[in-house]
A = this chain, B = another copy of it.
Amino acid sequence: MQAPLVVGIDLGGSHVTAAVVDAAGTVWARAKRDIDRHKPAAALLGDDVASTVRDAVQQAGLSLREIVSIGMGLPGNIDRARGVCRFSPNFGWRDVEVAKPLEQVLEVPVYLLNDVRSHTLGELHFGAGKGVASFVMLALGTGIGGGIVIGGRLLEGSHSGGGELGHITVEPDGPACGCGSHGCVEALGAAPALARAGREAVAAGKAPGLAALAGSPEAIQGSTITQAAQAGDVGSLEVLAQVGRYVGIAVASVITTLDPDLVLIGGGVAAAGDLLLEPLRAEVGRRCRMIPEGATPIRRAALLEEAGVMGAAALALEACGHLPAALEHCVHAPSAAL
């Protein structure tokens, strides 16, 4: 066994994944289970999440005593110092204690971070952001999250809101967003918007390949659209291009603001690859005229399905000093309570 070992937890809206990871970023074991996100938080954490951690540790042939720390990424606004989730629309949480209930049953210090900020840490230590001083990460999934690294540090912001890139306005009078604003890139470029555009293309008779592949409109998802587009369905290609253009407007605003070394695009929707990224890059090229065209590379993130647990593991490894810290691991961290 190669110490130190940590556990990274990725808590999503429909399932939780945990992985045992070492400081080199090697995954020793993983476990996953479906969850009911409407369950009371204490039960969800103390039961489902804790059991998933135990499963992963057991599969690695270890006991919890051999795990030095646990990192956890979850969607929402996180108060790291208190180990509390201030606000998570996905779980319907407001000021929910997350670290403490887990620490009580697992007896290992638990560190929290927003899921896409955690993914960004993962890219920094183990992925496409390794050795890059400043980069921006956008994860296109059910929502759109983001993370920003400047001078090797993860930007947290004044209210833990730094990098909330899904809520950049791309159409001032655009559709309502879950956040309460209008025309956010999340409302126009995340998976639900992609699926809706796909259904509209099918209804308008513009995407016969997609219609045939999906069978029924309800079965249309981001992955179906990508598959149909890869097979040459013109309507599906246009749907991906439109999403690429919307995300491109947001990426252009971020590049204009920060002039980073690199932009990474991750999340499930990014599986469309260049069918999405080429229209995105073209939109950025049209809008970012103050720096040389193409000066900022825009690439797919490296970690893919492992992004959640690897990011959370990077957080845990940083917190216990086994990776160079990209953020301040505060003195009020939950470990002090153990």
> Which residues does A use to contact B, with CB under 8 Å?
77, 134, 146, 148, 150-151, 153, 155-165, 167-172, 177, 179-182, 249, 252-261, 286-292, 295-296
Whether A259 lies near B164 (C-beta < 8 A) is yes
Whether B257 lies near A181 (C-beta < 8 A) is no
Whether A155 lies near B291 (C-beta < 8 A) is no
Whether B169 lies near A252 (C-beta < 8 A) is yes
Whether B169 lies near A253 (C-beta < 8 A) is yes
Chain B contacts for A161, CB-based, 8 A: 255-256, 259, 290-291
Binding site secondary structure of chain A: loop
**Chain B residue at smallest Cβ distance from A159:** B291
What are the nearest 7 A-B pairs in CB distance? A157-B259, A161-B259, A180-B289, A179-B289, A162-B259, A159-B291, A161-B291
Given contacts A169-B249, A177-B289, 14 further A-B pairs with CB under 8 A are A134-B158, A148-B257, A148-B258, A156-B259, A158-B259, A158-B260, A161-B290, A164-B256, A168-B256, A168-B257, A169-B170, A172-B249, A180-B289, A181-B287
Whether B181 lies near A289 (C-beta < 8 A) is yes
A-B contact pairs, 27 of them (CB 8 A): A77-B290, A77-B291, A134-B157, A155-B258, A156-B259, A157-B260, A158-B295, A159-B259, A161-B256, A161-B291, A162-B259, A163-B259, A164-B257, A165-B257, A167-B287, A167-B288, A167-B289, A167-B290, A168-B253, A168-B256, A169-B252, A169-B287, A171-B172, A172-B249, A181-B287, A181-B288, A182-B287
In the assembled complex, how far is the CB of residue A145 from the closest CB belonging to chain B, in whole angstroms?
A: 11
Q: A165 vs B290: C-alpha distance in the bound complex, in angstroms?
A: 11
Chain B contacts for A148, CB-based, 8 A: 257-258
Chain B contacts for A77, CB-based, 8 A: 290-291
**Chain B residue at smallest Cβ distance from A161:** B259
Q: A325 vs B293: C-alpha distance in the bound complex, in angstroms?
A: 31
Q: A254 vs B255: C-alpha distance in the bound complex, in angstroms?
A: 11
- Residue from the set A159, A160, A290 with the largest chain B CB neighbour count within 10 Å: A290
In the assembled complex, how far is the CB of residue A198 from the closest CB belonging to chain B, in whole angstroms?
A: 22
Chain B contacts for A169, CB-based, 8 A: 170, 249, 252-253, 287
Q: A179 vs B290: C-alpha distance in the bound complex, in angstroms?
A: 7
Whether A155 lies near B159 (C-beta < 8 A) is no
Given A170-B172, A172-B171, A257:B289 Cβ within 8 A: no
Chain B contacts for A180, CB-based, 8 A: 289
Given A153-B151, A171-B172, A172-B171, A163:B253 Cβ within 8 A: no
Q: A111 vs B65: C-alpha distance in the bound complex, in angstroms?
A: 57
In the assembled complex, how far is the CB of residue A279 from the closest CB belonging to chain B, in whole angstroms?
A: 14
Chain B contacts for A162, CB-based, 8 A: 257-259
Q: A168 vs B287: C-alpha distance in the bound complex, in angstroms?
A: 8
Chain B contacts for A181, CB-based, 8 A: 252, 286-289
